[in-house]
Chains A and B, each alone.
Chain A
């Protein structure tokens, strides 16, 4: 049943995603491939909308993906099941915070999972890049614009709103004047 699968998948994201909101993306990406609940293009829109709306990005994306899958009820299930593991873990950990933090196994697992989460997100980025740029005819303007944004980001950490605003304007201008 789709609602149960939705619950199970998002519960797993809550258990296994490490490194914050964007770290849920590799899992959302996997779901889009495995279930067809939403498309690859939806995923890109989901990231954009989630980055400019109130609330933690991870929750926004879960709500959005749930909505795409099964409407408002789907959102409710996705959101509840992604936060459930946090609730359980932290209530358990809170009782013995210091012991937990200084545990050598916990330290080693965190040491491994941080770069691992980074690698997963990088792979999703490359996949989205392939999907946006290489599946259709290669557009030099778009590549130049992306390079420009990336150089900007290397110089200074910018608010997500900035990227999305500038690129929305770029999208409107290029379709108006170049086609």
Chain B
């Protein structure tokens, strides 16, 4: 069984970060093979629980999961090692590509390529909204909240942060009402 060291945590999350291609769909199996099978103190169930919890917390889901696992393995230092490992591949690949892209973006061939990709991005967003919809629109109330935030941003151009803060306040009120009912 692997001894827990910060270097080891970093390397494992670096690997997971590298293999996260095209969205976070593969993170669960990666966590199971890289973390749950390698460390005694974390089981498959733990990993699934951390992932589920991470989805209902603010921020990037993969990063949240990394903090949970890293903290469990080696407290705050472990969390830092896990975050750094998770973020490094993303950081390096984007810096390289962004640099390249700014140099070639004016080439006509590249422009026509990205004109097409713009349409693909719309389909991608449509699919992402669909995924979130399935997980979140569970009843009429949730649908009304969807409509409210959708039109607040699209029609009334309210700052997204204000929309989220209003949502948190609404959540607190709902929680208070539920808590009072027996």
Contact = CB atoms under 8 A, between A and B. Distances in A.
Interface of A: 12, 14-27, 30, 41, 44-45, 47-60, 63-64, 67-68, 72, 75-76, 79, 82-83, 85-87, 89-91, 93-94, 97, 101, 104-129, 132, 142, 145-146, 149-150, 152-154, 157-161, 163-172, 174-176
Contacts of A125: 122, 125-126, 129
The 9 closest A-B pairs by CB, nearest first: A171-B116, A55-B90, A167-B120, A109-B171, A119-B149, A114-B136, A175-B112, A58-B60, A108-B175
Interface in B130-158: 130-133, 135-137, 142-143, 145-154
A135 B86 CA distance: 39
A32 B112 CA distance: 23
A167 B93 CA distance: 22
Contacts of B53: 97, 101
Interface of B: 17-24, 53, 55-64, 67-68, 71-72, 76, 79-80, 83, 86-87, 89-91, 93-95, 97-99, 101, 105, 108-109, 112-133, 135-137, 142-143, 145-154, 159-161, 163-165, 167-168, 170-172, 174-176, 178-179
A166 B150 CA distance: 29
